[in-house]
Amino acid sequence: MKKIDRGITFVDKDMGLFKCPVCDEGFSKIVHKSIVCKQGHQLDFSKKGTLYFLKHGVKSDYDDEKMWQARRSVLTAGLFQPIIDKIASFLPHNKALKIVDAGCGEGSTLNYLDQQRAGLNDIYVGFDISKKAVDLATQISGNSFFCIADLAQLPFMTSSFDVIIDMFSPSSYEEFERVLKTKGLLIKVIPNKNYLVELRHMLYEKDDLHYSYSNDKVLTLFKQHYPQAKTKRLTYKFLLAKTNFESLLYMTPLHWGATESRISAALSQGLDEVTVDVSLLIIENN
């Protein structure tokens, strides 16, 4: 099946998940290769089977194909598999779930989660503001649907999803609460101070602001919204034997502020392993 046909089939089956970015009404039908809302506004499916929900063009540092290709390489090698395994452990295994990945990037998270929950008939939707990331996500022959959308105006109906996953992405908590079902789960993954610390120290001097990291601001904001949230820390070493160091370097914004000389030195030196140090913030929507 062509990508566009696969995307149309998904949306036709689960049209009730989506809302029009123009009028906020639900969609009512698919005509040819377009989806039409109840007020007659129309969105065309791309050749890759995606929908573009942004009302205006957006420039982003994250719309970098080299970065997304590097991220695909490292994630395929398993960098985040223990994190996704931990996420899966919090999900009920006795029913099918509607799961959305906020800031899905190139789609590896949903693909791996789908494999972990094979046979449960979950519905997976991923969105990102980067068109290049979403285009790359459609290359995965999985069961997920991907779209280009903005966190501040999610193209989903109220109380649409059982689970929201937010890995290393910004959050719009008001929108998350709107689209999450009652008793639904929000699982946000944030880096801790030792996340990729070896790479950070290779790229920056000790007196540089980027040499160290604190998640205090992110954690404080989350706890302001969800004081009853559970926090689970996960720390492990990832061996770089299955991928190359250059991909690790370019998959993360850590290199953006580094000098060319520091980047060159890091590429020459390389690393055998890196530390993954994250916290999972889990809340049930009331």
147 assigned ligand-binding residue: no
255 assigned ligand-binding residue: no
Average confidence (pLDDT) per 10 residues, the chain, 286 residues: 94 97 97 96 97 82 85 94 97 95 96 93 96 94 92 96 97 96 97 98 96 96 95 96 88 93 95 97 92
Residues 119 and 65: their CA atoms lie apart, in Å, by 33
Structure tokens at 186: 């929000």
Contact 275, 178 (CB under 8 A): no
Q: What is the pTM of this model?
A: 0.95
Residue 249 burial (10 A CB sphere; 0-12, 13-18, 19+): buried
DSSP string, 134-171: HHHHTTS-SS-EEEE-BTTB-SB-TT-EEEEEEES---
Domain 50-284 matching CATH 3.40.50.150: the answer reads yes
210 assigned ligand-binding residue: no
Residue ranges of the domains in the chain?
1-49, 50-284
Question: What pLDDT was estimated at residue 242?
Answer: 74
195 assigned ligand-binding residue: yes
Question: What pLDDT was estimated at residue 61?
Answer: 67
Contact 185, 98 (CB under 8 A): no
Question: What pLDDT was estimated at residue 136?
Answer: 95
Residue 71 burial (10 A CB sphere; 0-12, 13-18, 19+): buried
